[in-house]
Amino acid sequence: MMQQGYQRKRRRPVAEINVVPYIDVMLVLLIIFMVTAPIVTQGVKVDLPQASSEALAADSKPPVVASIDADGDYFLDVGSSSSRETLDLEEIAIRVGAIVQLEPERPVVVKADRSIAYEKVIQLMVTLQGAGVPSVGLMTDSPEE
């Protein structure tokens, strides 16, 4: 038996999208990308020299040259002031960091003996990158003809 005054109210369909689950998914993805981004960018970008390479521009400032000799000792030559003082990686990072802060456009190059282990060169390049050097060049000799 139905009551006379009772009518079922019709519900209108809701035409809204519930965005809360999408926001949750977006935040999870953001956290994943924030965690993985430093891992992906840890590599050192190196443009390997070709058989013949271009010289530095004549109007550029003299480069900062970080050198490794055949014994594996580190040296630093800044422009015309060249010292044969053996340095460790921390001292090179401090000195090059100060130079880069004062003159960010000054080029920085690595000069290493051909018999040096690749690991020593990479350690020096990572140290220079940690000191704030945006890009590190590799010094080469001209090919003999």
Helix 118-130 vs helix 89-102: crossing angle, to nearest 10:
40
Residue 35 vs residues 8, 29, 41, 72, 83: alpha-carbon distances, Å: 54, 10, 11, 36, 43
pLDDT digit string, tens, across residues 98-110:
988 888 888 888 8
108 close to 136: Cβ distance less than 8 angstroms: yes
Where exactly are the structural domains of the chain? 64-139
| CATH top-level class of 64-139 | alpha beta
* Contacts with 111 (C-beta within 8 Å, 6 or more apart), sequence order: 65, 66, 67, 68, 139
Q: Rounded to 5 degrees, what are φ and ψ at 76?
A: -135, 125
* Global pTM value: 0.56
pLDDT at residue 61 greater than cutoff 70 = yes
**What per-residue confidence (pLDDT) applies to 13?**
79
